[in-house]
Structures are given as C-alpha cells and as structure tokens.
Amino acid sequence: MYYATTFNSGTRQTDRRSLGTDNLQEAQILLAKFVVENSTPQNEAPAAMPLATVLLRYWNEHGSKIPSSVQANIALGLWTEFWGEATVAELPIKRQEEFVQSLSERGYKNSYVSRVLSVGRAAINRAWKRGEITSAPFIMNVSDRSDEKEPYRLNKTEMQRFLREVQDWPHVFVFSMIMLNTLSRPEAALDLSPAQVRLDDQHIHLNPKGRKQTKKYRPIVPITDTLLPFVSATDVERFVLWNGKPIKSVKKTFALAVKTAGLPKEITPYSLRHTMAMELRKAGVPAWEVEGLLGHRRPGVTETYAEFSPDYLSKGREAIDEYFKGLGVAYKVPDLDCVTGACQRPKMEKSAEADLSTLSKDRMVGVTGIEPVTPTMST
C-alpha cells in the first residue's frame, strides 16, 4: 500500500495518509492529485516537479473550465499515460518524438497529435508563468497538418433541406440562423444575449461586455434583415434557450436534424460558418469583409469607429440577405405563446439534448420569408 506523507512545520509532526492502492502508477496519479489539492508549488526546479502534478493542476484550475474541456481531458490523459512518473525536466526532444510516434501508431492523425501536444505545452507554460516552476522545457509541434479534416460546406440544396428540417427544433433553428447570419463560432452564438444587440445601430457585439477577447476573436457584425426578427426580444437571458435556460451545446440535436434531413453526418455547427464564408466569397464580397465577419481580422484604432458607419461590412450583410432570398425556404420566427425566459414552446416536452429517443416535435407552419412576429427563443 502506498501513502502520502506530509510534514507540519508548526507542530513538527508528520502526517501519513493512505492512497488506497498498491499499484505504483495509480499511486503516482493519486499523489499528484493530493499535492494539487493540498499545496501550491512555488519556484520548483523542473527536476523536482512531477509532470503529472503540472497536468493535474492545469486541469483542475483551468482545463476543466474551458469550452474544449472534453478534448483537453482526453489530451491530458494521453500525456499522463505515456509519461508516467517523469518530471518536467525529463522531456527531451527524442522522448517527445517517441510520444508523437506512439500517438501516430494508435491511429491519431497529425492534426490531432498537434492538438494533444498543445494541451501539454499549455499546462507546462502555465505552471512556469505562475511561478510554480523555474523554467519550462521546449515542447515540439507537428508541423505537417495536411491530414486535417476539411470542413464540410453545404450546397444550396443541402442548406434548403437542413433549414426545412431544423425548424422542428426551435432552439437549434434560432442557433443556426444566428450562425448563418453572423458567421460566428458556435460558442458565440450560444452566448448571444439582448445586451449585445444594438438595434438602433443595427450591430451585434459578439463579444459580451466583460469577456476578455481571445485568439478566437469575436468581432462586431451588422444585423442582417434576415436575422433582425430573431434578435429583437429584450426580455430573455439568451437567444438560444431550452426551457428558459441557456445551454452549452446543441451538438446532439443538431446531429439529429442533419440525420433526419438525410444529410451527411460530416455536417456540424461549424459547417454553417464555413458555408457562409464560401458563399460570400462566391458573391464577390471583399476578402477583408469576410475576414472581419469571421473574426480573423482584429480591428485597429481606425476600425474601432468603423462600426458606426452606415456601410460597415455592408456588402457582407447584403450578400447574406440575398443568399436567404435565393434559398426560397418557407420559415418564420418560432411562434411562442409568450416572450419571458420562463416560457417554453407548447408540445415541446423534452430536449434532444436530454433524450433523443423521446423527443416530441411540433412542426411550425412555414411562410415565405420571415413573418414579423414578436420572437422569443425559449423552447
């Protein structure tokens, strides 16, 4: 049986606690967890700091709270499995190359291996920046990412089929309309609230007030005529709601809508963003406008005031409205009984997020274009 031993300098006593296992590898992981929960390392030499401790601290204090926490957890598990009891100092390039090779032999593509490496790199660099270790070793990257999966882009027929079908799930329909009209990332669409919508200026601030911008930049985008009825409600917490509450993901219901429409399973929420970027370029929208909508271009001092111009990203806005007119799909804003956040759509008893097998659907009556009704996004 393995034990964790601590020394109390105040009482001059030693405390010995069982880790509950006689397996060395399990004991190392449990000991790292014990250390994370009971101490904060300061200026530790890399040779004295177990890598498992750094990885676990990263997970507990940061990785478990980010949108990509599931992927981070898997990556950290792969690191822990391979490196075992190694310290931060025991990460030579040759051994890192063996780590990469082991991942490749398990069938992971270079693009995924690169992401796994980035998680470990982030954990080690975070420990160094916070003064937990005195230095951080170089962590290699896999430069060849040519095997990265190409994003799926819907053609006109596929988009028509998708938009007809997804209306059976109003919260996913609203989510999809936000993404298609703003080219935002899924997380930004799910976060969108009335406080971010400037109806007078016809703009949406995709980055909510108080949220720090990250490398996945959230820009200011114009409100299209198509999207306007979907974001006009002012008394809801978010525009994408289920039973009056914000949700973190629509992946399951989105996949169900795609499957029900008879479309390829490769279509994901990100496909909407990539599809619209392609359509705007096909429509002759300048590259800089498309990049601005995607958040690939960070605004400078001049562009800070550009949003107040009547023609701000106007070609992109016009092209999006024309795209929807060209689709000719009959749809309307979800017609709910009330607009408060506590309301839910009649006959929609259970979200696909909760149980796909018992989902009750209520098809909305379609109209040509958008019907100007008072919208709410609670489902």
Q: Mean pLDDT of successive 10-residue segments in the chain (379 residues)?
A: 70 76 77 67 90 92 88 94 94 95 92 94 95 95 78 95 95 96 95 94 91 87 94 91 89 95 94 96 91 74 56 87 94 58 40 37 35 35
DSSP 358: G
Tokens, residue 199: 């109806």
Indicate the CATH number for domain 18-129: 1.10.150
Q: How many residues does the chain have?
A: 379
List of residues 6+ apart from 269 with CB closer than 8 A: 175, 176, 179, 186, 189, 250, 251, 254
**Cβ(312)–Cβ(304) below 8 Å:** no
The Cα–Cα gap between 109 and 106 comes to 9
The Cα–Cα gap between 140 and 100 comes to 9
The Cα–Cα gap between 375 and 226 comes to 13
Nearest to 185 by CA among 63, 293, 95: 293
DSSP 151: P
What's the number of CA atoms in the CB half-sphere (13 Å) around residue 147?
A: 12
The Cα–Cα gap between 59 and 11 comes to 32
SS3 4: strand
Helix axes 51-61, 24-38, angle to 10 degrees: 50
Indicate the CATH number for domain 156-358: 1.10.443.10
The Cα–Cα gap between 184 and 224 comes to 14
The Cα–Cα gap between 356 and 65 comes to 26
Nearest to 229 by CA among 61, 375, 39: 375
Phi-psi region of 288 (alpha: psi -120 to 50; beta: other; left: phi over 0): alpha
Tokens, residue 246: 């914000």
DSSP 47: G
pLDDT for 58 = 94
Q: Please list the residue range(s) of the chain that carry CATH number 1.10.150.
A: 18-129
Nearest to 257 by CA among 369, 149, 158, 152: 158
**Cβ(378)–Cβ(341) below 8 Å:** yes
Q: Please list the residue range(s) of the chain that carry CATH number 1.10.443.10.
A: 156-358
Nearest to 90 by CA among 149, 49, 148: 49
Tokens, residue 78: 């792969």
The Cα–Cα gap between 63 and 73 comes to 7
